[in-house]
Homo-oligomer: A and B are copies of this chain.
Amino acid sequence: MSTKWLNYLVKMAKTKDTNTEGKILSAAENIFQSKGMDGARMQEIADKAGINKAMLHYYYRSKQLLFEAVFNKAFSLLAPQLNTILNDDSSVEDKIKKFTFNYISFISKHPYLPNFILQELNRNPDFVKKLQSNERFPSLDKFKMQVTSEVEKGNLKLISGEQLFINIISLCVFPFIGSPLIKVFLKLSDKDYKQLMKDRKTEIADFIINSIKA
């Protein structure tokens, strides 16, 4: 994440919903994250912000640039959480506990984020390249080394750091991306669904640790 971007985010955090630029970004997040780039309408964003369509272009010049502002902010919220947890000094087991609890808590507050990010990455593979060149991009090296080491010591069953990471992310993120499908398959009300997600915050760590402990 460039310094320019960080400054911009700090500014937006301070002025959120008070000045026009902040109102636009809030409205744009709301619309883009639920309808995607293609489904979103500039008119709808303007209406939600309570201002005129021309203002969107005055502040962000084009739909594409406004979209990128929303996307970059979303990604810069999701990714650093991975980084801080995966690269601290605690054990593999503690990392799994902390990560699952924190990540599920975070996504519960922003349930549209993961679907939005993944949808737009699938839509436009060029975004992927931009992300890689980001200096705050999460690194898994430390986590992988820890897993390998614990396997060698006989503390963990044979598993690669890659597969374990995929499993952790899948178990945390998919229930939100797949919520409409899960609700309909399990015949859950919104309240039931929320309770199930709340239970997962602690259950999931046990599920994962049980499966890998030697």
Contacts and interface: CB of A to CB of B under 8 A. Distances in A.
A148 B171 CA distance: 21
Contacts of A125: 180
A81 interface: no
Interface in A120-138: 121-123, 125, 128, 131-132, 138
A203 interface: yes
Nearest to A125: B180
B35 A207 contact: no
Contacts of A10: none
A122 B39 CA distance: 12
Contacts of A185: 82, 138, 140, 165
Interface string A32-44: 0011111100000
B115 A118 contact: yes
Interface in A133-175: 138, 140, 157, 159, 162-163, 165-167, 169-171, 173-175
A211 B213 CA distance: 9
Interface string A91-131: 00000000000000000000000010111011101001001
B170 A128 contact: no
A115 B181 CA distance: 12
Q: Which of A37, A119, A185 has the most CB of B within 10 A?
A: A185
A165 B178 contact: no
A6 interface: no
A210 interface: yes
Interface of A: 34-39, 82, 115, 117-119, 121-123, 125, 128, 131-132, 138, 140, 157, 159, 162-163, 165-167, 169-171, 173-175, 177-178, 180-186, 188, 196, 199-200, 203-204, 207-208, 210-212
